[in-house]
Structure 1
Amino acid sequence: MSIQAAPTFQVALSFEDGITRFVECNTDETVADASYRARINIPLDCRDGACGTCKSLCESGTFDAGDYIEEALTDDEAEQGYCLPCQMVPESDLVLQIPTTSAVAKTTAGSYTSTITEIIRHSDSTVGFTVAVDNRADLVFLPGQYVNILVPGTEATRSYSFSSGPEVESASFLVKITPGGLMSEYLSQRAQVGDTLELTGPMGSFFLRSGQRRALLLAGGTGLAPLLSILEKMRTESSTRPVHLVYGVSSDTDLVELDKLHDYAESLPQFTFDYCVSDPDSTAPNKGYVTGLIEPDHLDDGNVDVYLCGPPPMVEAVRLHFKDVSITPTNFYFEKFNNAAAPADSPAASAEESAAGTYEIGEEHLPVTESDAQFDARMALELGAMELTIGRLTPAQLTEYRILAENSAASIDRDHFTDAAAFTETNALFHDFLFRCTGNEVLLQAYHRLEVTQLMNRVLRTADWVDEHVAEDHSRIVSAFEQNDRAAARDLIVQHSEHAKSTMHRAITDARESVAS
């Protein structure tokens, strides 16, 4: 009779210096215990959930938070995804942001020896290569991460994202060939199958977050590599997540891996892609830049996670495009190429492009401050509308106001939405009512320009939690109008605004975590 091994979960510890280490955590083991067992000394003091020294941010996965006191971790922090590794026990694979460097934790990036098994010269401008990694099982990475590769014959390293998925036995990469680049010179002139390459990593916080929200992948040149890794991971998991990729290059010779993209389109039921070439003389069907191929459906009114890997001008162009179309993605993850300088004595003054230098990685999320500002503005306008209408509504208008309050409450069960979309719709009718009753078109238009309903549609679409006072707030506001109690109406409108903001805070935080249920 065979004995099955107990299940374990994989925990990625992402340090401030970009290094990521993985530990195997047993189902009854805290993350801190697993880390120290692996000789990774994350910040720790009391081990009892009392001091907060180990406080970290969980970016992905589910866990039992364990026992702790308020001074160590507040309720607000817990809602934002913070956790105490000394107490938390994983219920799935996790990704944690550890608030220290790998050096402080007395760990370093892993070093791996590999052998080139294949070199593919896609074109004059792009080379792909595949390596067999010694002790491949020890090289664990997240789809989208990169490693530093020592350029043979030099002491210089260059950073490249994996184009292969984490579960693929071999590791593959894409390189833009640029005159004067050390790795470019090696790959185009000296590299041979059988050569040894030294890898260090994995590194970076640009990686696929779990979840089912629509994703938009944007690639510039060989920035396609980490997005291929993401797609391979999705195929491994038989993902049904809606994903669209837009791939942009400078010239026809830069277009690579289209066959692979077609293959993913056939194997992933919800994946589509398009591509463009900026060269006006291109024979490609789409000439121009990636922003020209971003359609409203791809952004889903902002309910989208955007992953972009490309040069800095592309990142800025996409950010400007979002501003122009008045869309703030729920999550925007980007990785910019920062070029590595060519040798001083090189006849070429250009630097090696693509992922050849270092990476600048960033994240942008729907800001809580933006949401608060819109709700504060709504409150100010509603207080004005209240002054113009209280004591002046007819019995028929008060009856309509009461019905609107009851309709909005029908989509709430205590502190949970039963239908968030229906609530957003009925809530809009409730708040519109006072402005319509003023008969002041300027005031009504000022309210509509705030676009509070559009914001709520984006943020609350998949929300579950609602402040438990929201439903009764509407009813109590109507009662204040029925009793012609101006002071009570003013206080209730102010209180309701705070309850509405807390509901939005929670939904925005949950959206940032993007954790699969």
Structure 2
Amino acid sequence: MAYTVKLEPSGKQFEVEPGQSILDAAMHHGVNLPYGCRNGACGDCKGKLVSGQVDYGQYKPTAMSEEERAQGSALFCQAQPQSDLVIEAYEIDDARKAEVRRLPCRVHEARKLTHDIMEVSLKLPSAERLQYLAGQYIEVILKDGRRRAFSIANTPLHDELLTVHIRYVPGGEFTEHVFEHLKPKEIWNFEGPLGDFYLRDSDRPAILVAGGTGLGPIKAILETAFEEGVERDFHLFFGVRAQRDLYLTELLDQWQQEHANFRWTPALSDPTEEDTHWTGDTGYIHDVLPRYYGDLSGHEGYLAGPPPMVDAASETLKQLGVDKDRLFSDAFTYSTE
């Protein structure tokens, strides 16, 4: 049977299924408790057991001492309820509360999503996990100290690997390496999580606007929302130049079929001769938005992509009634250095 966990001081409650840890259940219910390794080795998820019984699971003595356990502590990444519980821990409900860390990782896999977009999966050391909010980004640190920022494109609910979408930049030293010379198990160093682009706790319908690899962080946001059972409405507008620049369309179509609160609209700003059979929208995405909405009062806007697109679409959303304080964006720039 499932047990109910009440979190203090927030008063939030969530259900924990048999065989599920408190931390895992909390994450799947949109409650962001702190954690580090998720395997009982670091102690970052340690909190107080106010009432109830748990199976403490397997953990290292360095993560929690017997004295701490006797005083009511538990590692929520390992502890499984054996009754209804009241626990005490703080939530990471703001990107500023997440610990920024510098970590090594290995390239696990790379696959082309389009002619000029590569998805790279990164694996952290076995005793490490990165806690982040869907929509945040990391900075890859090059050997000479230069940095390249990439949004995390997968949900933190499944953080065994971190995936990033990297667009090829002609003459770009780093992207040239990624597309031409990348090797499996290559070691990268990065810092993160960074940024304050994440889904706010709200019931407002959300308009999401992605340009190019701006789909990455918005994919992570949507993927997390669907797993958490968020019921607010989402409408994604995905703007690219030509049809060959669209990617993950099968996944977006699948989500549209599976989730009644989601739909997506692609648009081509510069169709090629190969796009003669295109029947969808054409034009810049900020010109497409008013074709679907005349009044967006009471909505929120989330925008990710090239700065000109983000700026233009933000202005359009404000003209359609979205309050400027309800607009959240992540504008990308590309370096050729």
* CA distance in 1 between partners of 2:48 and 2:292 (Å): 41
Q: Do 2:95 and 2:195's aligned partners in 1 also have CA atoms closer than 8 Å?
A: no
What's 1:304 paired with?
299
CA shift for structure 1 position 327: 4.6
* CA distance in 1 between partners of 2:96 and 2:220 (Å): 24
1:29-178 correspondence to structure 2 within 5 Å: 93-96=91-94, 109-135=100-126, 138-151=129-142, 154-168=144-158, 169-178=160-169
Which one-letter code corresponds to 2:155 in the other structure?
Answer: G
Secondary structure of 1:95 counterpart = coil
1:265-323 CA-partner distances (Å, limit 9, x unpaired): 23322110011111143624221111233258657641111100111111221133235
Q: Alpha carbons of 1:300 and 1:240: their partners in 2 closer, same or farther (altered >3 Å)?
A: farther
1:393-444 CA-partner distances (Å, limit 9, x unpaired): xxxxxxxxxxxxxxxxxxxxxxxxxxxxxxxxxxxxxxxxxxxxxxxxxxxx
CA shift for structure 1 position 130: 1.2
CA shift for structure 1 position 326: 5.0
Secondary structure of 1:294 counterpart = helix
Give 1:242's match in structure 2, choosing from 233, 241, 257: 233
1:317 has 2:329 as partner: no
- Residue identity over aligned pairs, in percent, reads 23
CA shift for structure 1 position 254: 1.9
Secondary structure of 2:120 counterpart = strand
Q: Alpha carbons of 1:238 and 1:97: their partners in 2 closer, same or farther (altered >3 Å)?
A: closer
Secondary structure of 1:200 counterpart = strand
Q: Number of paired residues?
A: 267
Q: Do 1:11 and 1:23's aligned partners in 2 also have CA atoms closer than 8 Å?
A: no
Which one-letter code corresponds to 2:257 in the other structure?
Answer: E
Higher relative contact order (CA 8 A, sep 6+): 2
Q: Do 2:119 and 2:166's aligned partners in 1 also have CA atoms closer than 8 Å?
A: yes
Which one-letter code corresponds to 1:307 in the other structure?
Answer: Y
Q: Do 2:296 and 2:320's aligned partners in 1 also have CA atoms closer than 8 Å?
A: no
Q: Do 1:120 and 1:129's aligned partners in 2 also have CA atoms closer than 8 Å?
A: yes
CA shift for structure 1 position 132: 1.9
The TM-score with structure 1 as length reference comes to 0.46
Q: Alpha carbons of 1:6 and 1:307: their partners in 2 closer, same or farther (altered >3 Å)?
A: closer
The structure richer in helix per residue is 1
Which one-letter code corresponds to 1:26 in the other structure?
Answer: G
1:26 has 2:30 as partner: no
Secondary structure of 1:240 counterpart = coil
Which one-letter code corresponds to 1:115 in the other structure?
Answer: R
* CA distance in 2 between partners of 1:92 and 1:265 (Å): 35
Larger Rg: 1
Give 1:278's match in structure 2, choosing from 255, 266, 269: 269
Q: Do 2:96 and 2:196's aligned partners in 1 also have CA atoms closer than 8 Å?
A: no
CA shift for structure 1 position 187: 1.1
What's 1:511 paired with?
none
Q: Alpha carbons of 1:197 and 1:266: their partners in 2 closer, same or farther (altered >3 Å)?
A: farther
What's 1:266 paired with?
257
Which one-letter code corresponds to 1:306 in the other structure?
Answer: G
* CA distance in 2 between partners of 1:95 and 1:149 (Å): 25
CA shift for structure 1 position 11: 5.2
Q: Alpha carbons of 1:298 and 1:174: their partners in 2 closer, same or farther (altered >3 Å)?
A: farther
The TM-score with structure 2 as length reference comes to 0.68
What's 2:5 paired with?
none
* CA distance in 1 between partners of 2:130 and 2:145 (Å): 22
What's 1:294 paired with?
289
What's 1:255 paired with?
246
* CA distance in 1 between partners of 2:182 and 2:282 (Å): 34
Q: Do 2:241 and 2:271's aligned partners in 1 also have CA atoms closer than 8 Å?
A: no
* CA distance in 2 between partners of 1:214 and 1:240 (Å): 9
Q: Do 2:138 and 2:194's aligned partners in 1 also have CA atoms closer than 8 Å?
A: yes
* CA distance in 2 between partners of 1:160 and 1:130 (Å): 12
Which one-letter code corresponds to 2:131 in the other structure?
Answer: V
Give 1:205's match in structure 2, choosing from 166, 189, 196: 196
Q: CA RMSD in A?
A: 3.4
Secondary structure of 2:103 counterpart = strand
The structure richer in strand per residue is 2
Q: Alpha carbons of 1:155 and 1:214: their partners in 2 closer, same or farther (altered >3 Å)?
A: same
* CA distance in 1 between partners of 2:189 and 2:100 (Å): 12
CA shift for structure 1 position 161: 0.4
Which one-letter code corresponds to 1:93 in the other structure?
Answer: E
Q: Alpha carbons of 1:301 and 1:92: their partners in 2 closer, same or farther (altered >3 Å)?
A: farther
1:61-98 CA-partner distances (Å, limit 9, x unpaired): xxxxxxxxxxxxxxxxxxxxxxxxxxxx9787342476
* CA distance in 2 between partners of 1:308 and 1:183 (Å): 25
Task: Give unmatched runs, 5+ long, in structure 2.
Answer: 1-19, 35-42, 51-62, 64-86
Q: Alpha carbons of 1:98 and 1:205: their partners in 2 closer, same or farther (altered >3 Å)?
A: closer
* CA distance in 2 between partners of 1:148 and 1:268 (Å): 33
Q: Do 2:95 and 2:133's aligned partners in 1 also have CA atoms closer than 8 Å?
A: no
* CA distance in 1 between partners of 2:334 and 2:304 (Å): 14
* CA distance in 2 between partners of 1:270 and 1:24 (Å): 33
* CA distance in 2 between partners of 1:134 and 1:298 (Å): 47
